[in-house]
Chains A and B, each alone.
Chain A
Amino acid sequence: DVKVTQSSRYLVKRTGEKVFLECVQDMDHENMFWYRQDPGLGLRLIYFSYDVKMKEKGDIPEGYSVSREKKERFSLILESASTNQTSMYLCASSFRGAYEQYFGPGTRLTVT
């Protein structure tokens, strides 16, 4: 079974803190994605990566950066957390050329 894990289920951080959200997949997928989900909105793509050290901006990259140093791991970084980044963050992965994505359980981040 494909497994995508995220480092935390719940996280509470203060405004201005640097926040790291980690995602690990165990299926040797080339593609990895970070989304956020807010009430009443669909999942919105923040960044994705199609290979180690490669990254592409999604629809809402402002205030975020990513790191992919190893194939199995994709990190989302909030350089200086703000209250409008309070959200559910979902990581996903897929094979290159495949359209089915496999999701982690999500990290609910609260920035106070």
Chain B
Amino acid sequence: ILNVEQSPQSLHVQEGDSTNFTCSFPSSNFYALHWYRWETAKSPEALFVMTLNGDEKKKGRISATLNTKEGYSYLYIKGSQPEDSATYLCASTGYNNNDMRFGAGTRLTVKP
């Protein structure tokens, strides 16, 4: 994998559903994996930064895991709420911290 890829591109779920999306990234020269939440008309907001293989992070109903050997990360949202509607971006950072590569994002819509 040469680029950071996210799937699915978009997702529509009902309130209360749990959901997850995937980020794939190049495993060579890897330093850190970032997840951002970008709500319409707002700034992208950092959710998690993970560096170690097997890392798991949690913030409320949202959690993320990291597999650096195979080059993927999952973001999970438990019991989705309408306020979770946003675009979720992942980005991979190499050892040069200016080299942040972004995926195209997963746009989540949670219907009440």
Contact = CB atoms under 8 A, between A and B. Distances in A.
Contact of B97 (A41, A98, A103, A106): A98
Question: How extensive is the interface on chain B, given as a class?
Answer: 20 to 34
Contacts of B97: 94, 97-99
Contact of B43 (A33, A45, A105): A105
Given A56-B98, A106-B43, A42 B103 contact: yes
Interface in A31-55: 31, 33, 35, 40-45, 48, 50
Q: Which of A43, A48, A94, A103 has the most CB of B within 10 A?
A: A43
Interface of B: 3-4, 9, 31-32, 34, 36, 41-46, 49, 89, 91, 93, 97-98, 100-105
A22 B42 CA distance: 17
A39 to B, nearest CB: 8
A102 B32 CA distance: 16
Given A42-B101, A98-B97, A99-B97, A105 B41 contact: yes
Given A42-B103, A42-B105, A99 B93 contact: yes
Contacts, number: 52
Interface of A: 4, 9, 31, 33, 35, 40-45, 48, 50, 56, 90, 94, 97-106
B98 A31 contact: yes
A42 B98 contact: no
Nearest to B5: A42
Nearest to A40: B104
13 contacts: A40-B104, A42-B101, A42-B104, A43-B102, A90-B44, A98-B97, A99-B34, A99-B97, A99-B100, A102-B43, A103-B36, A103-B43, A103-B45
A60 to B, nearest CB: 13
B41 A100 contact: no
A101 B100 CA distance: 9
A98 B97 CA distance: 7
A90 B87 CA distance: 15
A97 B97 CA distance: 7
